Amino acid sequence: MKSEARSDAEAEPALGSYLHSTILSQPSLAHCLSFQLGNRLCSSTLLSTTTLYDLFLSIFLADAALRSATVADLRAAWVRDPACLSFSHCLSYKGFLACQAHRVAHKLWTESCRPIALALQSRISNVFNVDIHPAAKFGKGILFDHATGVVIGETAVIGNNDSILHHVTLGGTGKCVGDRHPKVGDGVLIGAGATILGGVKIGDGATIGAHSVVLKDVPPRSTAVGNPARILLACEEEDVPGESMDHTSVISEWSHHVII
């Protein structure tokens, strides 16, 4: 990442100061992220840059599993997003930054530091336009592509190697309390503008089409499309939608076979 930043600084001297402060002068990825998030999420009336930097850094350095998830998220952004030019480029992506800030907020939530976890949620929402309750559970290798308008509720669970596009809602029905939000398996692709409501289960390797409204379980390796969503025949291919980002795999000789 530092070699990428050096090349960018040489090619674009106007970015030299920024790249030096965010990457080249930092001893580790944890320090890079803490500096980025502290500066992006600070507020003169809520949380200062120094307070946030110290908070993020202490949590990143103390939690090896969190650092591993961050690396997996970084790799996911670089591998799956064709617009991403380098790992250093990922550090400016609001989807990646929002995901890492949520991981810290979730850690604080689980350690009963709930007021500051909720304060972080508020700042993440205000700055990145991504609203994730700090209790929501994330796996690793997650890509928020574009990220604008993503809303994820309190009891939602997101598995490993999932890709979620902009304006996706994982919400409740408004009628339930307690465990009331979607549970998303591994390798799932959720298209732009999709809405999944209630405690439904999205199976491993499933695809949710853009602007679909999902109100019932989606079996593994199947596709949900429409409003309300129809469930199409499960795909037998080896493709993992959450990793391949193939939104058109449902268009095949089997796509007219509605199973639910």
Helix (H, G, I), strand (E, B) or coil at 233: coil
Q: Read off the tokens for 260.
A: 């639910």
Residues 6 or more apart in contact with residue 50 via CB below 8 angstroms: 38
Report phi then psi at 197, rounded to 5.
-120, 140
CATH number of 136-259: 2.160.10.10
Q: Is the sign of the CA dihedral 53, 56, 60, 61 positive or negative? A: positive
pLDDT band at 89 (very low <50, low <70, confident <90, very high): confident
Q: 140-184 pLDDT, tens per residue?
A: 999 999 999 999 999 999 999 999 999 999 999 987 788 999 999
pLDDT category of residue 76 using cuts at 50, 70 and 90: very high
First to last CA, the chain: 47
Q: How many CB atoms lie within 10 A of CB 228?
A: 10
**Res 238: pLDDT:** 67
pLDDT, mean over the chain: 91
DSSP three-state, residue 4: helix
Q: Region 214-234: what's the mean pLDDT?
A: 92
In the chain, residues under CATH classification 2.160.10.10 are 136-259
Tens-place pLDDT, residues 2-61: 999 899 889 999 989 999 999 999 999 999 999 999 999 999 888 899 999 999 999 999
Pairing between strand 169-171 and 150-152?
parallel
The yes-or-no verdict on residue 251 having pLDDT over 60 is: no
Cis bond before residue 228 (omega within 30° of 0): yes
Position of tokens 């999709």? 194
The pTM of the full predicted model, rounded to 2 decimals, is: 0.91
Domain ranges in the chain with CATH number 1.10.3130.10: 1-130
- Does 236 have pLDDT greater than 80? no
Q: Distance between alpha carbon 202 and the CA centroid of its chain, in Å?
A: 16
Nearest in space to 251 (alpha carbons), one of 215, 207, 203? 207
C-alpha closest to that of 223 among 199, 243, 183, 252: 252
Residue 250 has pLDDT above 80, yes or no: no
**What pLDDT score was predicted for residue 211?**
97
Q: Is CATH 3.90.550.10 the right assignment for the domain spanning 1-130?
A: no
Which pLDDT value is given to residue 150? 98
- Strands 207-208 and 223-225, bridge-based pairing: parallel
